[in-house]
Amino acid sequence: MRRTVLACAFPALAAIVFAGSACAASPGAIRLDAKAVAAGRIRTVPLQALEWAPRVEAYGVVLDPGPLIRLAADIAAARSRLAVAGARLALARSEAARASALYRSGRNISEARYQDARARLRVAEAAQSEARARRLEVVARGRADWGARLAAAAADGAAPLPQLERGSLRLVEASVALGASLPAALAPPVARLPDGTQARVRVVGPAPRAAASISGPGVYGVMPAEAAAPIGTPLTLQLRGLHSQAGVLVPAAAVVWHGGRARVYLQRGAASFAAVAIPAPVRARGGYFVPQDAAQGLRPGGRIVVGGAELLYSASRSARPAAAHGAR
């Protein structure tokens, strides 16, 4: 029944719109008389101001910290090998310098001993180069697997590594869905466990890979061990931006979608309306958040059509071909 009523109302409104001069005068503008407003059941409400922080849902899991702890051990071992290689190189240099001085002064040293000292120096230099390369390889692998911040913590033994070793913290990895993006700066998120309990998570840094078959960007974080989330527990996190943005809340009933694009209708006068395109509406409770500078004319207090918006859209679309035909 509703579809039939709307179908009957569209031609009537289109005729009224075409008869007005506003549609021809300015693109997207519609002027109706009082009868058309009443017949179309057009209703408006004032736009409400809204401070909005970008937010997105992420999915993740409690990780086994063992590989990260082993990375720390590997980095420590690589550093030790480099230190040993450096000490051996220093000794070889000293011995080679002493042998060279004795040989050149004609003192009690054979050419064979002199050449042997030079050879040991070259071996020590090569050993140090190899140890340095192995340390760099371990550090680079850590960054590729764990990101810059966790890799640095593993290299320096800094937080949260000691807490993970003691078991007082759980390591968390979470990613957003494909096509979504992470807010630039994150407020401390809350993780929801399968049993419905919640735990506060502290974000450590961005993850270099997607977590648990999720295809979007992700983050690493830590949560208290008291949350009773053993390794492998799936989590849902609400990631919210740290900084809010000023804008307006557009009611869902005001938005007309066509071809994947959104538009709304603002009331300009008693019976005059203007179409406003919304480039990137963001879902919010009760409608859509539109940043202050994203759409011209959407300001707090401005009246927006929430009843009859579809009729205005259909009327404007029907009036355009007629206006173009009349112009010829």
Domain range spanning residue 199?
Answer: 57-64+166-240
- For 18, residues 6+ apart whose C-beta sits below 8 A from its C-beta are 318, 319, 322, 323
- How far apart, in whole angstroms, are the C-alpha atoms of residue 66 and residue 172? 13
* Predicted pLDDT of residue 20: 41
* Predicted pLDDT of residue 16: 45
Last residue of a domain, one of 161, 177, 200: 161
Tens of each residue's pLDDT in the chain, 328 residues: 333 334 444 444 444 444 443 333 344 578 777 777 777 788 899 999 998 888 889 999 999 999 999 999 999 999 999 999 999 999 999 999 999 999 988 877 899 999 999 999 999 999 999 999 999 999 999 999 999 999 999 999 999 999 999 999 999 999 998 877 888 788 899 999 999 999 999 999 999 987 756 678 999 999 999 887 899 999 999 898 888 888 999 999 999 998 888 999 999 887 788 889 988 788 888 899 998 877 778 999 999 999 988 888 876 776 555 444 454 4
- How far apart, in whole angstroms, are the C-alpha atoms of residue 30 and residue 314? 11
Q: What are 1-8's contacts with CB under 8 Å, separation 24+? A: 6/310, 6/311, 6/314
Residues 79 and 137 in one domain: yes
Q: What are 122-126's contacts with CB under 8 Å, separation 24+? A: 123/92, 124/85, 124/88, 124/89, 124/91, 124/92, 124/93, 125/89, 125/92
What CATH number has the domain bearing residue 255?
2.40.420.20
Last residue of a domain, one of 112, 145, 161: 161
Residues 92 and 140 in one domain: yes
Last residue of a domain, one of 96, 130, 161: 161
Residues 74 and 93 in one domain: yes
- How far apart, in whole angstroms, are the C-alpha atoms of residue 182 and residue 260? 23
* Predicted pLDDT of residue 85: 98
Residues 7 and 87 in one domain: no
End-to-end CA distance of the chain: 38
Residues 118 and 99 in one domain: yes
Residues 173 and 147 in one domain: no
- How far apart, in whole angstroms, are the C-alpha atoms of residue 111 and residue 123? 18
Residue type, 193: L
Residues 222 and 270 in one domain: no
What's the total number of domains in the chain? 3
What global pTM score does this model have? Answer: 0.65
Yes or no: say if 128 and 82 are a contact pair by the CB < 8 Å rule. yes
Residues 76 and 138 in one domain: yes
Strands 245-251 and 272-278 come out as unpaired
* Predicted pLDDT of residue 213: 64
Residues 130 and 172 in one domain: no
What CATH number has the domain bearing residue 194?
2.40.30.170
| CA proximity to 211, closest of 60, 62, 58, 63 | 60
Residues 115 and 79 in one domain: yes
